[in-house]
Amino acid sequence: MSFTDNGKDTATRILDAAEVLFVEHGFEATSLRMITQRAAVNLAAVNYHFGSKEVLFQGVISRRLAPYNQECIEELRQALIDAPHGLSVDSIVAAYLRPAIRLAKDPARGGIIFIRLMSRVFAEPHDSLRDMLPRLYSDVLEAYRAALVKALPHLGSHEVSWRLQFAMGTIFYAFAGNDVARLLSQNNVPGARDPQEIVKHLVPFVVAGLTAPNRPA
């Protein structure tokens, strides 16, 4: 569908409003009325541009995720160029997280709002995204999985795939903004919402899991 300049502005306002509300309330609890009020548009505009809340949700994710994915792949490619004799696991994890840090600091590309939404979506994918997410994200996961298989040849491809699954779950949850520490103590963990602080503590934890000795069955 082609839009006029005014149509593009309207669609962008709807996407921006939905992005924030999906982070704050989740998909199910976010109503179209809430979105239209925040975007200052009527329901007809949402229906015209997106047709349904499910399609709108997909639009919110896909407009940010495609360029972000490319950045993740380029980061790994550059890391491989800089280390022709092979990457360490630390370097692979750092390469994966650097684009997230840059994105978190760039409100024009969604900033920390989208990082939290993406993390929430991957940790708790909604049915409307189950077919779309593998299509959009599989190239990134395969590139980093292949790099880890080379860095951890003693573990084997199957074991690396399992560990990558657990590592990704940890990373997504850490960025989702849930701050599980509040459930474990009366005080919040300092910096639990700061992406750089998260990464500082997250990298050694994830690397330790990826490189742990392979215990026999």
List the chain domain ranges.
1-51, 61-211
- Pick one of 3.40.50.410, 3.20.20.80, 1.10.10.60, 3.60.15.10 as the CATH number of 1-51: 1.10.10.60
Q: What is the pLDDT along the chain (217 residues), one digit of tens a residue?
A: 333 344 458 999 999 999 999 988 888 889 999 999 999 999 999 999 999 999 999 899 989 888 999 999 999 999 999 998 889 999 999 999 999 999 888 988 888 888 888 887 876 667 777 777 778 888 999 999 999 999 999 999 999 999 999 999 888 888 876 554 454 445 555 555 677 888 889 999 999 999 999 876 6
SS3 36: helix
Distance between CA 3 and CA 197 in Å, rounded?
41
State if pTM tops 0.85.
no
**Are 193 and 161 a contacting pair, CB within 8 Å?**
no
Q: What end-to-end distance do the CA atoms of the chain give, in Å?
A: 55
Q: Give me the CATH topology for the region 61-211.
A: Tetracycline Repressor; domain 2 (1.10.357)
